[in-house]
């Protein structure tokens, strides 16, 4: 467990730890050796200096050094590391590492999705109704109420892990069928969105447009284990609007 002095409130719903800062520094140093001169967009660096986000428009590494920090700070799983390589707002490669289990997910645009070197295909849970993990934490109260009134009755609602490094694999591995993300920061979604799309699932904005890492002011994202499941949830969201 971390000492109280090693955990700092980042916002009302978020914390940062000494591990976040140290891991980000180490990852940036290593990635800089791989691709000298490419912009580094780290979650913690961007929190200190918003100008870091300007790097998202060109070739860049996108780093979440400790995804699921709230879980980590509480001494419980899940938490992981997310790294993506993007260019012109489009993710080219993504990696998701589960720090506790060692599960390593990787994807390269147009080349499929992998876990531990084995190519995988996203599979729905087969549950009726479909299983939904919907993140309402960053929604306005009216939006949250609308989701619970108009969306929740059509799905089996389950808790979110508060960790994109866990949620995206759940959508591909038959654990969850659909998810809604309100906050869509690049370090949380660049790697996972590419990976799930490459696995045959679907991740896109509610209007169907693709996820771009340089749209850092935009909210709303749907992830699903299949295009059909995505379409079903998107249609219900459209009716709710």
54 is in an annotated binding site: no
Question: How much is the pLDDT for 18?
Answer: 86
Greatest mean pLDDT among 13-17, 66-70, 122-126: 122-126
| pTM metric for this prediction | 0.94
Q: Which of 76, 98, 120 is the last residue of a domain?
A: 120
* One domain for residues 176 and 86: no
* One domain for residues 111 and 177: no
Asked if 212 contacts 206 with a C-beta cutoff of 8 angstroms, the reply is no
Does 64 map to a domain?
Answer: yes
Does 218 map to a domain?
Answer: yes
* One domain for residues 19 and 115: yes
Percent of the chain with pLDDT strictly greater than 90: 86
Q: Does position 13 have pLDDT exceeding 90, yes or no? A: no
Q: Does position 10 have pLDDT exceeding 90, yes or no? A: no
* One domain for residues 136 and 116: no
Query: Is 182 exposed, middle or buried (CB count within 10 Å of its CB: 0-12, 13-18, 19+)?
Result: middle
**What is the rounded distance in angstroms from the CA atom of residue 90 to the CA atom of residue 108?**
12
* One domain for residues 84 and 177: no
- Please name which of 219, 213, 217 lies closest in space to residue 57, comparing C-alpha atoms: 213
Q: State the residue range of the domain holding 43.
A: 4-120
**CATH no. for residue 193?**
3.40.190.80
Q: Which of 100, 120, 140 is the last residue of a domain?
A: 120
- Split at pLDDT 50, 70, 90, the class of 126 is very high
- Split at pLDDT 50, 70, 90, the class of 4 is low
Q: Does position 2 have pLDDT exceeding 70, yes or no? A: no
Interval 183-200: pLDDT, tens? 999 999 999 999 999 999
* One domain for residues 16 and 40: yes
13 is in an annotated binding site: no
Does 126 map to a domain?
Answer: no
- Split at pLDDT 50, 70, 90, the class of 15 is confident
Which residues contact residue 126 at a Cβ distance below 8 angstroms, ignoring those fewer than 6 apart? 174
* One domain for residues 199 and 158: yes
Please state the rounded mean pLDDT for residues 41-59: 96
* One domain for residues 217 and 138: yes
Asked if 134 contacts 147 with a C-beta cutoff of 8 angstroms, the reply is yes
66 is in an annotated binding site: yes
Does 125 map to a domain?
Answer: no
* One domain for residues 108 and 155: no
Q: Does position 61 have pLDDT exceeding 80, yes or no? A: yes
Question: How much is the pLDDT for 227?
Answer: 99
Mean pLDDT of the chain: 94
For residue 37, give the DSSP letter: T
Please state the rounded mean pLDDT for residues 145-171: 96
* One domain for residues 81 and 164: no
How distant, in Å, are the alpha carbons of 35, 62, 100, 215 from that of 79? 26, 17, 8, 25
118 is in an annotated binding site: no
**What is the rounded distance in angstroms from the CA atom of residue 178 to the CA atom of residue 168?**
10
Q: Which of 120, 142, 169 is the last residue of a domain?
A: 120
**What is the rounded distance in angstroms from the CA atom of residue 104 to the CA atom of residue 152?**
32
How many structural domains are present in the chain? 2
Please state the rounded mean pLDDT for residues 95-110: 98
207 is in an annotated binding site: no
- Split at pLDDT 50, 70, 90, the class of 89 is very high
Q: Does position 14 have pLDDT exceeding 80, yes or no? A: no
* One domain for residues 232 and 165: yes
């Amino acid at each position: 467990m971390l000492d109280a002095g090693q955990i700092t409130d980042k916002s009302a719903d978020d914390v940062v730890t000494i591990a976040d800062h140290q891991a980000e520094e180490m990852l940036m140093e290593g990635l800089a050796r791989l691709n000298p001169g490419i912009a580094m967009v780290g979650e913690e660096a961007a929190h200190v200096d918003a100008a870091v986000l300007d790097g998202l428009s060109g070739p860049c590494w996108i780093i979440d050094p400790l995804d699921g920090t709230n879980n980590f700070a509480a001494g419980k799983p899940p938490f992981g590391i997310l790294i993506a390589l993007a260019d012109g707002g489009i993710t080219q490669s993504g990696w998701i590492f589960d720090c506790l289990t060692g599960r390593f997910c990787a994807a390269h645009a147009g080349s499929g999705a992998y876990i531990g070197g084995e190519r995988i295909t996203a599979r729905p849970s087969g549950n009726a109704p479909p299983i939904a993990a919907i993140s309402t934490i960053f929604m306005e109260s009216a939006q949250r109420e609308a989701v619970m009134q108009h969306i929740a009755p059509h799905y089996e609602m389950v808790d979110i892990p508060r960790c994109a490094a866990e949620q995206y694999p759940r959508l591909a591995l038959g654990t969850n069928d659909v998810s809604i993300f309100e906050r869509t920061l690049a370090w949380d979604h660049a790697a996972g969105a590419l990976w799930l799309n490459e696995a045959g699932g679907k991740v896109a904005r509610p209007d169907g447009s693709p996820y771009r890492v340089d749209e850092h002011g935009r909210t709303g994202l749907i992830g699903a284990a299949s295009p059909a499941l995505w379409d079903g949830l998107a249609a219900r969201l459209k009716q709710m609007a």
